[in-house]
Amino acid sequence: MGIALMLLIASCKKEDVRQTTTDNVSSGTASKAQWNSLSSWQNSKTENITTYFSRLTDSSITNDVVNEGMVLVYKKTGNEIQALPILEKGNKTYWYYQVAKGSIRINSDNNDGQNLGTQTFSYLVVTPEHLSKLEASGKTKLDLLQLSYDQASSLIK
């Protein structure tokens, strides 16, 4: 047990993930994060694509949220807020995310690696209970993915 703990501590570097704070909304059934800039971008290259990625960590993203709830992620550039996934047509950059217990990995394909630090991100964590209520009121997961940040935020209250 002690060796496993030492290996876990040694393998995780502080700069690998960014801890975020969330504002609890609606009695713990959903949460909304502050806008965060990510400073620790890494990349992975294939023959045709370079993917830049960074992580946000949040303990409210439980296994239940990953498996039966949902997380909505938004990117803000200047005054423009866009729901991910999104393809920026001007520079053909594809932004998307992956959710795992305790974290969100933000990915950017075909980005030249410039200006990644100028992007800010926020997300909404929807628990299975809150998602069931939204679905009962007629909102599907697809509907939620297509909502603007303001529209989705108002549904989570």
pLDDT tens for 22-63 read: 443 333 456 677 899 998 899 999 888 899 999 999 999 999
Residues in the chain: 157
Q: In terms of Cα–Cα distance, which of 43, 57, 62 is closest to 114?
A: 43
Q: Whole-prediction pTM value?
A: 0.78
What is the extent of the structural domain holding 102?
15-156
In tens, the pLDDT along 115-134 reads 788 889 999 999 999 999 99
Number of structural domains the chain divides into: 1
Structural domain includes residue 37? yes
Categorize the per-residue pLDDT at 88 as very low, low, confident or very high, splitting at 50, 70 and 90. Answer: confident
Query: Cα 22–67–142 angle (5° rounding)?
Result: 80
